[in-house]
Amino acid sequence: MTPAPNDLLLTCLDDIRAGRLTLDECASQHPELRQDILALATLVGAGQDYSALEDIDDGTRARVRAGLRAAMGVNGHHPAQSARLGRELGRKPWLGAIFAWPLDRIAAVAGVATAHGGLLPAIGAGIGAALAGGAVVYAAQTAGPESALYPVRQAVHTITETLAPAEPTPPPATPTAVPTATATVVVVPTAARGEDALPRATGGSRAAGEDDSAEKRELDREHERAAGLENPPGSERRPAGIGAERSEGRAAAGEAREGNRQGPSAASSAAGTQRDGGGPFPGPATGGGSDGGRTAAATSSLSGSHDGGGAPGPSPSTSGRDGGSSPSPSASSGSHEGGSPSPIPSTSGRDGGSSPSPSASSGSHDGGSPSPIASSGSRGGSGSTTSSGSGSGSDSGH
Amino acid sequence: MAAQLEPLPDAELISAAQAGDADAFTALYDRYVGRVYRLISYRLGRSADAEDLTQQTFVNAWQAIGRYQPGTAPFVAWLLRIAHNASISQLRATHFSVQLNESIDPADDGDVADDLLSQERRQNVLRALKKLEGEQAQAVWMRYMEDLSYPEIAGLLGKSVENVRVITHRGLRKLRRYLEA
């Protein structure tokens, strides 16, 4: 195999350096590299001159040696310790944080405090108070109600919850149930949302094992009427039967809080809101959006989903956080990021686009899961039930 | 102590130095200070800067010897790389202009014309070499000035031998342009 020009040039230069070839011999053997060889011959010569340079003289050697020994001694450096420390710092970031403290600034502050005698006691007192407070808080972590530190524990807990970011809470491991068209209640724990393929109902915690019969709903309404608590038209009404965790002031069957301009429902059964729950379900299901959801569903169920489920389903579902309308016999809306591929066209909400579908899934933030069932109320997963009703959102109602 | 350590091979001295033995590191210094000083003095010129920088190179090596991996490259190559980088930093920091007449001692009994030609040649090469950057500069220098083999340079740079050859060739191409400029 013919060597590449790269290798030819390097080999030629190496031969010249080693004395195996002269400059002319190499240039004549490789005329195409002649110019390169001639130009770089000076490099070879410089290298030879460099090699012939005198070694360091003894005086310089001794001076540098003494300086090196002094530097090694003064620094007190121990390379093995340094290496161990480096590895230790790699394993324990908090240790690195300690070493990363601006010690020079601390020293400067201490110097200033020392210079101004009045500051020193103040700084000492501050540090002492901080340490004492930390000790009390630490001791209160395990304080029982009978302990004198229990109020401290409660206060810390309150502060912690107040300062904690308002992240969506994980779904409770309570079973949820969604009424089916035949009033069959399916109870499935929501903890398995999104991962399982089990049919499961979407609904809030109130829905667990709750009878969703029309009689009971009617009874509830009568109670509300009697108590004067029934919501006026267009306002939210707590879904009877399967409730939602966030059902208060949220999703309602067939009605929206601020108007549900669309969404006449032939039958309305409220599927409870489930914030994160949901799962694939066979059957008509409706995800009800919490904030909106203009849906017109000939047959739809409502599940007041806030974060959306969005499992596609062959069933009408209505849900949606921010609304969206679906001109379909069943509609789903309110999906944030679209639903999931569905054998059935679905209409989903804000980001999900819309699709004319006899069934809809909605309310999905992050997409749902492929399911022949509509679902609602799931952020990542999907939940659906077979339910009927008119989907409605509570807020939008455009 | 240093005399007792002097005959020991590099590997033992390095291991001892990595364990914190200052005498072992001093023995390594005695062994390689000549090459380090030559590199620095060649690049900087013979001056107090070269002496100081040689000392600083070994101090840096002492502080970093825990990270040296004996299997990758010869210890002297590792030292020379530290010296090379230190000289570059020094040149950048001080905008050092090479005073070649001061830096290189001509052969004592050489012909004056040859000396002048040699000095001129070295000056041109050095000027061109200083324009090279990064791995190309190191590869060319280590190969043609320090006479390291390609595998040694490869271990030093953490490259394959073939890659080092390509880097060197590209550096030579650039160097030729610089020499002709």
Final residue in a domain of this structure, among B70, B105, B140: B105
Residue A278 lies in a domain: yes
A183 part of contact set with chain B, CB < 8 Å: no
Query: For residue range A92-148, what is the model confidence (pLDDT) as tens digits?
Result: 555 555 554 555 555 565 666 566 666 777 777 888 888 888 887 788 777 766 667
Residue A99 lies in a domain: no
DSSP string, B114-173: HHHHHHHHHHHHHHHHHH--HHHHHHHHHHHTS---HHHHHHHHT--HHHHHHHHHHHHH
Residue A104 lies in a domain: no
Mean pLDDT of chain A: 54
Confidence of residue A360 (pLDDT cuts 50, 70, 90): very low
Query: For residue range A229-262, what is the model confidence (pLDDT) as tens digits?
Result: 444 444 444 443 343 344 343 433 334 344 344 4
Nearest Cβ partner for B55 among A54, A67, A80: A67
A85 part of contact set with chain B, CB < 8 Å: no
Q: Does pLDDT of A356 surpass 70? A: no
Residues B8 and B64 in one domain: yes
Chain B residues with CB-CB distance to A39 below 8 A: 176, 179-180
- Helices and strands, number each (H, E), in chain A: 10, 8
Quote the CA–CA distance of A320 and A365 in Å, as a whole number: 9
Nearest Cβ partner for B145 among A50, A54, A83: A50
Residue A126 lies in a domain: no
Q: Does pLDDT of B112 surpass 50? A: yes
Residue A66 lies in a domain: no
Task: Residue B46: give its domain's CATH number.
Answer: 1.10.1740.10
* Entry pTM: 0.42
Residues B68 and B52 in one domain: yes
Domains: count for chain A? 2
A147 part of contact set with chain B, CB < 8 Å: no
Q: Does pLDDT of B89 surpass 80? A: yes
B17 part of contact set with chain A, CB < 8 Å: yes
Point out the least confidently predicted range of A300-309, B33-42, B119-128, B172-181. Answer: A300-309
Quote the CA–CA distance of A331 and A292 in Å, as a whole number: 13
Selected residues 145-174 of chain B with any CB under 8 Å from a CB in chain A: 145, 147, 165-166, 168-169, 172-173
Smallest CA–CA separation between A37 and chain B, in Å? 9
- Residue carrying the six token digits 């499992």: A311
DSSP H helical ranges for chain A: 5-18, 23-29, 34-51, 58-75, 79-91, 93-99, 103-115, 119-140, 150-163, 214-227
Selected residues 83-102 of chain B with any CB under 8 Å from a CB in chain A: none
Smallest CA–CA separation between A44 and chain B, in Å? 6
Smallest CA–CA separation between A63 and chain B, in Å? 8
For residues B11-34, give the mean pLDDT. 92
Residues B99 and B116 in one domain: no
Q: Does pLDDT of A345 surpass 50? A: no
Nearest Cβ partner for A10 among B125, B168, B176: B168
Final residue in a domain of this structure, among B49, B70, B105: B105
Check CB contact under 8 Å for B22 and A80: no
Residues B128 and B179 in one domain: yes
Residues B59 and B121 in one domain: no
Residues B131 and B86 in one domain: no
Tell me, what's the pLDDT at B41? 85
Residue A367 lies in a domain: yes
Residues B89 and B142 in one domain: no
Residue A128 lies in a domain: no
Residues B8 and B86 in one domain: yes
Residues B178 and B121 in one domain: yes
Confidence of residue A54 (pLDDT cuts 50, 70, 90): confident
Residues B3 and B91 in one domain: yes
Domains: count for chain B? 2
Task: Residue B180: give its domain's CATH number.
Answer: 1.10.10.10
The boundaries of the domain holding residue A246 are: 174-398
Residues B114 and B171 in one domain: yes
Amino acid code (one letter) for A358: P
Query: For residue range A278-323, what is the model confidence (pLDDT) as tens digits?
Result: 333 333 333 333 333 333 333 333 333 333 333 333 333 333 333 3
Residue A332 lies in a domain: yes
Nearest Cβ partner for A68 among B29, B104, B140: B29
Residues A179 and A34 in one domain: no
For residues A57-78, give the mean pLDDT. 81
Check CB contact under 8 Å for A68 and B104: no
A351 part of contact set with chain B, CB < 8 Å: no
Check CB contact under 8 Å for B105 and A53: yes
Check CB contact under 8 Å for A42 and B19: no
The boundaries of the domain holding residue B130 are: 109-181
Nearest Cβ partner for B34 among A40, A55, A69: A55
B22 part of contact set with chain A, CB < 8 Å: yes
Final residue in a domain of this structure, among B105, B123, B147: B105
Residues B98 and B123 in one domain: no
ipTM, two decimals, is 0.76
